[in-house]
Structure 1
Amino acid sequence: MIPLFIFYSYLVISVGVYGAASNKNIFLLAGQSNMSGRGGVVNLTWDGYIPRQSASNPAILRLAANLTWVTAVEPIHKDIDVLKVCGVGPGMAFANSLLRKAPRIGVVGLVPCAIGGTNISQWARGGELYNQMMRRAAVAVNGGGIIRGLLWYQGESDTLTLEDAKAYKSRLHQFFMDVRNDLHIPHLPLVQVALASVSGNYTNMVREAQLGMKLVNLGTVDAMGLPVQEPERLHLTTPAQVSLGKMLTNAFLRICNSKS
């Protein structure tokens, strides 16, 4: 495990277990359906099961669609990805895992922004999805706290055509750079997920782009091999989302250790 004093020194936080709401450690969650969360969703119905690793916690808040902070409860994208049925995603498991590994960090503020079925081109700077994410990020910071990282899981939609797959790496790189520039955090920790499922004919090309991305303070989690739901074999199961959340935590902490 990463020495906790290193993580604390990076966060520059000395609050108690829950801390003050104004000292939130803010994480943006963006991408498409597997970040939004489809764990437990079968035949357009969520089974309602929330594992203990994704349970609510007084130290975990969520920026709701109406731009107010509320206690985070799965599905945390339910009022964001409104055209789809949302279930369990990786965000709550990430936050709970982070609090277990570093229990003195204070409040974790999750800012859900993911929208199912979206292409990387739809997240380009100036587009609706990008602008909405930036608006929510600005509100989150104004409410007190610091943006600590971006969790990104997207790419299934870009495996369907050769054109999109070829352009994926450059588009993703530009997206990451634009986010850092517009947030004025040049070394913002980024944790991306390499695709877990074979979506289109060019899945391997997109995965190669993800796994080959090299940026300072970028961590890449390879989700291939995590269980996916039958029969569509596209979305992660609830247990897989829990595992992914823990993997995201470990990747983020490795970045923090490297920064220190």
Structure 2
Amino acid sequence: MKHILLKNFLLLLIASIPSITYSQDPNFHIYLLFGQSNMEGAGAIESQDRTNVDERFRVIGAVTCSGNNTSFTLGKWRTATPPIFRCWTGLGVGDYFGRTMVENLPQHIRVGIVPVAIGGSDIRLFDKENYETYVTNAPDWQKNIISEYGGNPYARLVEVAKLAQKDGVIKGILLHQGETNTNNPSWKNYVQQVVANLKSDLGLGDIPFLAGELLASQGACCGSHNVEVNKLPDVIPNTHVISSSGLVGSDPAHFTSASYRTFGQRYAKKMLELVEVDTSPVTSAEDHKTESQVNVYPVPAVNRAFTIDNIGDISQIEVFTSLGAKIATFDNPNRSASLKIQIDSCQGLLLIKLYDIQKRISYKKILVQ
């Protein structure tokens, strides 16, 4: 009786685990962008900015809107032709960050951004716990923008980032913010908490965090805050400050379009130094249907043995534990239609990685008793 109950429990467990054959592409690099107006985009969008945008540079809608010859749908990807935050924003840091990234990465790698920024906002608007206090006292024009993000920009950033994680892998976080908090010594601690919350809520490791300096040219309002910006690496691991030296402004707080282009390139140059790149041009499970053709049985496997069937197009099979440790590799040079596998060293939920003859990858899973 106990054996039957245990078997039923294991069957229920594996049935409840989402299929590992989702369309997440390790070569789709995702970046979170947040902050205030210089991140949101305050520069004039010129003809050069709307042309030759590589389709490998993608933006996911964090709002739903239409107008200004563009549109966004919440949770849907499109080519990142500006504006890239909301329908009525301008050119910002993110535009030439993304364009420069795809220009310098292998052709099989795409770049996607998750954009949430609100002009004039205090960093405390992104406070996970206490944002409502800030929103209550925000001016009406800013409340209107906040409402486009569901009334809670931090929650919207996490919500859309989780959607993006179904398609790709989050590789870094970018910030440009601080004008509203100029010379506040507590600012860096607020930023630290926001970044820590993002990493926790999204299951991120020690990914790079890039923060840009504020406009510091003659007549700028807030360049003195760069002292605080440059303290961020002291409180946030893997933080890198992007210099605004030599950039010019269109007003005391905002950069010119030309400077936004240069600034975005600087962000990208630093990220390109930090990001790990898979140089093998493999495609995602979404790009082919091997996983739907391959059968693995019996489920659960009995006596640590199972059969993989319909593998005539599979050249190699690797088996991993649920923690990611590779425990076996099997070659299929003769393109056999099926293969019986005996696992002697491990039990539990295992991940099977399948390489087809075109080096594309798909996955299956099996519970081994």
TM-score by length of 2: 0.55
- Partner of residue 153 from structure 2, selected from 112, 129, 137: 129
Within-5 A mapping of 1:1-260: 22=25, 23-40=27-44, 48-51=45-48, 55-64=52-61, 65=63, 66-79=74-87, 85-126=88-129, 127=131, 128-142=152-166, 144-159=167-182, 165-197=184-216, 198-199=220-221, 203-204=223-224, 206-214=225-233, 215-229=236-250, 232-256=251-275
* Gap change, CA 1:105 and 1:174, over 3 Å in 2: farther
State the alpha-carbon separation in 2 of the partners of residues 57 and 21 from structure 1: 21
- Could you tell me how far 1:92 is from its partner in structure 2? 2.2
Residue type of the alignment partner of 2:115: P
Per-residue CA deviations over 1:80-131 (Å, capped at 9, x if unaligned) read xxxxx41111212111211222233511111111111110111112332211
Contact 1:94 1:246 in 2 (8 A): yes
Q: Which structure is higher in helix share?
A: 1
- Higher Cα radius of gyration: 2
Mapped to 1, the partners of 2:48 and 2:24 lie a distance apart of 25
Give the equivalent residue in structure 1 for 2:137.
none
Using the alignment, how far apart are the partners of 2:81 and 2:210 within structure 1?
Answer: 22
Match for 2:180: what amino acid? S
Distance, in Å, in 2 between the alignment partners of 1:26 and 1:50 is 26
Rate the CA distance shift 1:92–1:35 in 2: closer, same or farther, 3 A. same
8 Å CA contact 1:25–1:109 kept in 2: the answer is: yes
Q: Report if the CA contact (8 A) 2:54-2:102 is conserved.
A: no
Contact 2:24–2:165 (Cα < 8 Å) also in 1: no
Q: TM-score, normalised by structure 1?
A: 0.76
Letter in 2 for 1:155: G
> 2: CA distance between counterparts of 1:154 and 1:236?
13
Gaps of 5+ in 2: 1-22, 64-73, 132-151, 277-369
Matched residues in 2 for 1:49 and 1:238: separation? 8
Count, aligned residues: 216
DSSP 3-state at the match of 2:161: helix
Q: Report what 1:11 is aligned to.
A: none
Q: Which runs of at least 4 in structure 1 moved beyond 6 Å after TM superposition?
A: none
Give 3-state SS (helix, strand or coil) of 1:87's partner.
coil
Partner Cα separation in structure 2 for residue 52 and residue 71 of structure 1: 13
Greater fraction of residues in strand: 2
1:59–1:106: 8 Å Cα contact kept in structure 2?
A: yes
Cα separation, 2, equivalents of 1:54 and 1:244? 19
- Provide the rounded CA distance (Å) in 2 between the counterparts of 1:190 and 1:54: 29
Unaligned runs of at least 5 residues, structure 1 = 1-19, 41-47, 80-84
| Higher RCO (CA 8 Å, separation ≥ 6 residues) | 1
Change (3 A) 1:234 1:59: same
Q: Distance in 1 between matches of 2:214 and 2:109?
A: 31
Following superposition, the deviation at residue 53 of structure 1 comes to 9.2
CA distance in 2, matches of 1:141, 1:21: 7
